[in-house]
Each structure stands twice: as C-alpha cells, then as structure tokens.
Amino acid sequence: MSLQRRRFIQSIILSGGALTLSDIFEDVNENIGSDHSLKGYSLGKNIKYLNHASIGTCPKDVQTAFKACIEKCEENPARYIWGPEWDEARTKVHIQLATFLNCGTEKLAITHNTTEGINQIAQGLDLEKGDEVVFSNLKHAGASICFDHYSKIRGISVRKIEVSVDDAVHWSQSDCVDFHTSQLKDRTKLLVFPHIDNMIGYKHPVKAISEKARQLGVKYIAVDAAQSIGMIPVDLNELGVDFYSGSPHKWLQSPKGLGLFYVRKEVQQSCAPMWVTWGQNRWKDTAQIYEDYGTRDLPTVLALGHALQYHKKASWENRTQTYKELREKAQSLCSDKVQWYAPTNWENGSSLFSIKVEGDCIEIASQLSQEGFIVRGFSQGFIRISPNLMNTSTEIEKLFEAIDNLI
C-alpha cells in the first residue's frame, strides 16, 4: 500500500469518520502488498525472523486493514458482530479462500487453527470400535493427541508408524508413498499425514499416497496442512483427500487464530461437527457446519481476506524462487559441524528445513534469539529454520556465522 493510501485510511480512522466497507475492503485490497521486503513488517529492532513454521509474521498492509476492521467494529460492536452488516464481507472472504484452494465454498469452513479441524475428525468421524487410525512419527502433536484421547473414549485404535528421521530426509517421493501404504491393515479406516511435516519440511505426495491408500481399502484420508497453506500452491479438487486442515496464521501471514477446514462433500454426513450451535441448522449441507457460531473475532476473519490479497501480489513462481534461493544459501553454508538435515531438493523439501549441530539445540536456539535470530531448537538435536519472502540471504549468512560462534 502506498504511503499516501495508508495515510488516507489512517486519517479516516483517526478522524472518527465513516469508513465504509469499501474503504476497508476494496481500496485497501487495491493497494495492498506492494512491499514484500523487511520494511513492510513490524519486526522488532535487530530481529531476524526465521520461524514462520511456528507462527507467521503479519505484513503492515494487512495490519492496517485489520486495525481498520477493529476500529470499525468498536464503533458499535453488536452491529458488526451480530448484525447483517458484515455478512457480505465475510462471504467474500470465504469465496476468496475457496478460490485460493480451488474448492467450492460449501466444502470449506473458517476455523481457528489446524488443531481444531483435526479435533473435529477425531471426535465426529463415523469410526466404529476396532477401526484403526494410522499416522506416522512425522506428525505434529496437534494432529495426533486428539486421536489418542478419543481412542480411549470411542474404542477406536490408533497406530503410529515409525520412520527414522535420518532416513526420511533421503526419501524419494515413491519411498514416502510406500512407507505410508505398506503398513496399512484391513481395519485401517483413516490415514492422517502432514502435507509438509514440521521437522524436516518433507513435502508429502498427497495425491499419490491418497490414491494408493484408497486402493488398499482405506476409507478416509486426512491431511494436516499447517505448513503448506501459503507456502505452496494447493489444489483441493486435484488432491482428492477427505479432510484438509490448515493454519493461515503461519505462511499465509494472516492475523493469528485463524484456521481453515476442508471437508469433501461426500463425507460431510459421516463427520458430525464438534460445535453444536444454531449455525448448523442454517448451514446444513455445507462444511460451514464445522464453524463455531458462538461469538467470533470477525475483524480477524475479515483480515484473512486482506492476507489473501497480499499473498496474491507475489506470484507462485517468484515466491518459490525466493524460497529455493534461501534454502540453497543455507545448504551451501553447511559443513561437517553444521549439517543439512532436510530433503536436498525442492521437489521433496520446502522452506522449512533443519540443521544438525552438536550440543543442546534448544539452548543454542535460545542463545541465538538473544542475538535476534528467531529459529526453533528441537531436543532431538537439530535446529529448524523457516524463512518467508521478506527474509534475505544476508540474514541466513549471519545466522550461520552466529551458530558457528556458539558451537
């Protein structure tokens, strides 16, 4: 957004003037996303933010729109949260999100995070006593704990298939398909796996795993999309899965506390919603039955539309090119002391990658954060780096220098 436009929006807000929906939505969208460099963010002085896999940064342009929505809402909260005023804007965001993921709006719910969608499956899917749910050790707790919990209550069984992470970094795409499908049993009804895992950033071949698992009799396929939404293009019509649950507050850089949950039309009747509220009646026969119809933070939901708009300003080609350059820079700086710990190429890997170093990696990450480098240390002996578009090769170089000085 140009400085002039930002000043215009802010002056309306500050003067208490009538900021119309189109001021907030159309005008901001027109001008959003011109600056993908570090200047376009609110990062603290000296912060080199390389941890989008934990939680994303929100661009200033999106923040401006978000603040405008909050200001507007606070003029008369009951009107905006419960009145029809923002129905159109909300519907628009829903359409934008469905278009972004290439699926119909009737298959998509706006939730609060990835964990919520996975919980809906663990609690509501029509699994019977003895039916089995399978996931691998490359899963995140957010996509597994709920199954452990409901297995005790519902009598379903949960089986974790194990791969050594040291081996998974070398997987080809067909190794990954074979790993997931060779261990299925007759009673396996649901297979859950991440599109991109949160340790080494392995990009799972979703369609191939899903197709083979179905041929082998698995009834439902659920994908944890926490790390894929916004980082790689996703075409839900093409992937052919039943459930896809993600968090736009990571790579898509939306305000925090927003999730999306795709549920294939044919399985909506087989998965009862977790929330039981009035909205389920109004939206029956669509995935919006999975939305929470208690009080919602609507400014956050509306600002998702602005985050999508911001995202669109960089093409997938440019985005991928930047990610590849940053990870190649990191790869080139690895040595015997600091070892690459992720798939070696972009086909299998992503902008989420790790390095292995000697020592307590949680402590090393904590010391790095004191120098302004925000990364995540894992107790298993590696440090995860997850840069987004605004990061630079120089930041990666400086990070490696800082690591070298610490080990």
Nearest to 375 by CA among 366, 367, 385: 385
Min. distance of Cβ 137 from ligand PLP in angstroms? 12
226 counts as binding ligand PLP under rule CB under 6 A: yes
Min. distance of Cβ 117 from ligand PLP in angstroms? 8
Residue range at the interface with ligand PLP (CB under 6 A); choices 65-73, 137-145, 212-220, 372-380: 137-145
Choose between 12 and 200: whose C-beta lies nearer to ligand PLP. 200
Q: Confirm if 350 and 73 have CB atoms less than 8 A apart.
A: no
Choose between 19 and 53: whose C-beta lies nearer to ligand PLP. 53
254 counts as binding ligand PLP under rule CB under 6 A: no
d(CA 253, CA 351): 14
Contact positions with ligand PLP (CB under 6 A) in 142-181: 142-143
Reduced to 3 states, what is the DSSP secondary structure of residue 200? coil
Min. distance of Cβ 60 from ligand PLP in angstroms? 23
Choose between 49 and 80: whose C-beta lies nearer to ligand PLP. 49
**Helix axis angle, 316-332 to 393-406, nearest 10°:** 30
Structure token digits, residue 89: 């804007």
113 counts as binding ligand PLP under rule CB under 6 A: yes
| Count of residues interacting with ligand PLP (CB under 6 A) | 14
Min. distance of Cβ 37 from ligand PLP in angstroms? 26
198 counts as binding ligand PLP under rule CB under 6 A: yes
Contact positions with ligand PLP (CB under 6 A) in 258-317: none
Report in angstroms the alpha-carbon separations of 90 from 101, 158, 280.
17, 37, 17
Contact partners, residue 103, CB within 8 Å, separation at least 6 = 236, 237, 262
Choose between 37 and 54: whose C-beta lies nearer to ligand PLP. 54
Which residue in the set 40, 194, 255, 273 belongs to the binding site for ligand PLP (CB under 6 A)? 194
Residue range at the interface with ligand PLP (CB under 6 A); choices 38-46, 140-148, 200-208, 394-402: 140-148
Residue range at the interface with ligand PLP (CB under 6 A); choices 38-46, 223-231, 340-348, 384-392: 223-231
Question: Angle CA(204)–CA(206)–CA(212) in degrees, nearest 5?
Answer: 115
d(CA 204, CA 208): 9
57 counts as binding ligand PLP under rule CB under 6 A: no
**Helix axis angle, 361-370 to 393-406, nearest 10°:** 120
d(CA 293, CA 84): 14
In this structure, the number of other CB atoms found within 10 A of the CB of residue 380 comes to 11
Residue range at the interface with ligand PLP (CB under 6 A); choices 139-147, 151-159, 331-339, 381-389: 139-147
111 counts as binding ligand PLP under rule CB under 6 A: no
Min. distance of Cβ 353 from ligand PLP in angstroms? 14
Reduced to 3 states, what is the DSSP secondary structure of residue 33? coil
Min. distance of Cβ 35 from ligand PLP in angstroms? 26
Nearest to 159 by CA among 128, 173, 180: 180
Sign of CA dihedral 162, 167, 169, 172: negative
Sign of CA dihedral 158, 162, 165, 171: negative
Which stretches of the chain bind ligand PLP, using CB under 6 A?
A: 53-54, 113-115, 140, 142-143, 194, 198, 224, 226-227, 247
